[in-house]
Copies of this chain bind each other. A is one copy, B any other.
Amino acid sequence: MNFATADRSARVEVELAKAYRLLNHGPTVLVGARHGGVRNVMAAAWNMPLDFTPPKIAVVIDKSTFTRGLVEASGRFTLSVPCRAQAALVTRIGACSGREIDKAATLDGLRYADIPDATLVEGCVAWLDCRLLPEPQLQQNYDLFLGEVTAAWADPRVWRAGRWVFDGHDELRTLHHVAGGNYFLPGAMVSG
């Protein structure tokens, strides 16, 4: 599988037992899905790891989103973890709907990797490919979607020995949504 990281350099597979660490520190993600030849991606600050092995994740996907229909129809979705270089793109992705426009054809800088059956956003720093764990009542009542992570990758410039290390790569720091298109970047690391 060959897709591009932020500067189209290499990407490495993430051991599934450590895939939870991609989301552990609370980044905003892009949720992607495809069905019947149609792809879309949306922004989601509301996501979290749910289990270690097999790795599972939870993400909130509102009823108003176009992505939701693609997830429910295909039974699969992806999480791409965007970085500082993509902050404006993430906000733009979140401000329009795939019901109205083809985001990849409209938004500068949004490119999907050329991978069958997955919708991974190029230029991100990590990606999780997920199988929907169907929970219709949960989806209907809470807009809450659960997935099992079946594969995960990260940009080796910022993912070393199974954890995030952003030193020297400010443009690749993950985005943590505050409000209104403002994001904290992960800063200093402390040990407790």
Binding site for B on A (CB under 8 A): 21, 24-27, 45-51, 56, 58, 60, 84, 86-91, 135, 138, 142-144, 146, 162-164, 173, 175-179, 181-192
CA distance A26 to B144 in the complex (A): 17
Asked if A185 contacts B192 (CB within 8 A), the reply is no
Q: Which residues of B contact A173 (CB under 8 A)?
A: 187
Q: Which residue of B lies closest to A47 (CB)?
A: B48
In the complex this chain forms, how many copies of it are found? 2
A184 partner residues in chain B, CB cutoff 8 A? 25, 164, 186-189
Chain B contacts for A45, CB-based, 8 A = 24-26, 49
Contact assessment for B176 and A176 in the assembled complex, using a CB-CB cutoff below 8 Å: yes
Q: Offer 18 A-B interface pairs, CB within 8 angstroms, sorted by A.
A: A24-B178, A25-B177, A25-B178, A26-B45, A48-B58, A50-B143, A51-B142, A51-B143, A56-B142, A162-B179, A164-B178, A175-B192, A178-B189, A182-B191, A184-B187, A185-B186, A185-B190, A186-B187
Q: How far is the CA of A114 from the CA of B138 in the complex (A)?
A: 36
A50–B60 CB distance below 8 A: yes
Q: A46-B49, A49-B46 are in contact. Are A84 and B181 (CB under 8 A)?
A: no
Q: Smallest Cβ distance from A124 to chain B, in angstroms?
A: 14
A89 B192 Cβ-Cβ under 8 A:
yes
Q: Are A179 and B21 in contact (CB under 8 A)?
A: yes
Q: How far is the CA of A175 from the CA of B188 in the complex (A)?
A: 10
Docked Cα-Cα span, A111 to B7, in Å, equals 48
Query: Would A183 and B177 be within 8 Å (CB), given that A50-B46, A50-B60 are in contact?
Result: no
- Return the contact of A191 from the options B162, B181, B188 (Cβ within 8 A): B181
